[in-house]
Amino acid sequence: MNFLKKNIALLIMYFSFSILNAQYEIIPEEGYTAQIGIMVDMLEDIKDRITANINDLSQEQTDFLFDEQANSIGSMIMHLAATEAYYQVETIEGRRWTAEEASLWSVAGGLGDKSRAEYKAKPIDYYLDLWEEVRKKTLEGLKTKDDNWFSTSNEDGINNHWVWFHVLEHQAAHMGQIDLVKARLPK
């Protein structure tokens, strides 16, 4: 009997812990069509998690490079903003970057020596604020689209749903890199 009570108590503790720490549901964001609303929910979730993980970094931590080939957290956030800005213009606006947009985003679009040289000595808020500006524009643009547009393919046969899934998976991949860099920050 004691064995049964102990196991029931453990099960109750396990399920209580599981419920309290359950993952959030994916629910279409209001103001969007169903499929776009689901994508917006996922994009916002991953951006919120990345932001919460890094929003209190110092300048030194924002610029930290753990070796000569690494990218700083600041440059990775700039890269995420640039990638989203690129696909936003390509899919939502149906155009290419202007010369002004290209001068702002092209270095960030490709990580490496140029971004290591350019993206430093700026606080984490600088990068997060730029990403937030891009995201606001993305959200406004996606509100003007519907699920038929989402399933529409470009001349290369790539549909808008896949493009925005790619933006999401791209952000998830860099979230892992950001976690790696953060784990290597000097104590």
* pLDDT score recorded for residue 12: 57
* pLDDT score recorded for residue 116: 87
Q: For a pLDDT cut of 70, what percent of the chain falls above it?
A: 88
What does residue 159 show for φ and ψ, rounded to 5 degrees? -90, 160
Per-residue pLDDT tens for 80-101? Answer: 999 999 999 999 999 999 999 9
Mean pLDDT of 6-15: 53
More confident residue, 128 or 68: 128
* pLDDT score recorded for residue 18: 46
CA dihedral 112, 51, 89, 33 (to 10 degrees): 150
* pLDDT score recorded for residue 6: 55
- Between the alpha carbon of residue 24 and those of residues 17, 18, 41, 42, the distances in Å are 14, 12, 10, 10
pTM of the model: 0.85
Residue 164 has pLDDT above 90, yes or no: yes
Residue 172 has pLDDT above 90, yes or no: yes
Mean pLDDT of 9-29: 60
Confidence of residue 9 (pLDDT cuts 50, 70, 90): low
Which range among 21-30, 33-42, 81-90 shows the weakest confidence by mean pLDDT?
21-30
* Sequence-distant (≥ 6) Cβ neighbours of residue 165 within 8 angstroms: 39
Mean pLDDT of 148-172: 93
- Domains of the chain from N-terminus onward: 2-183 (1.20.120.450)
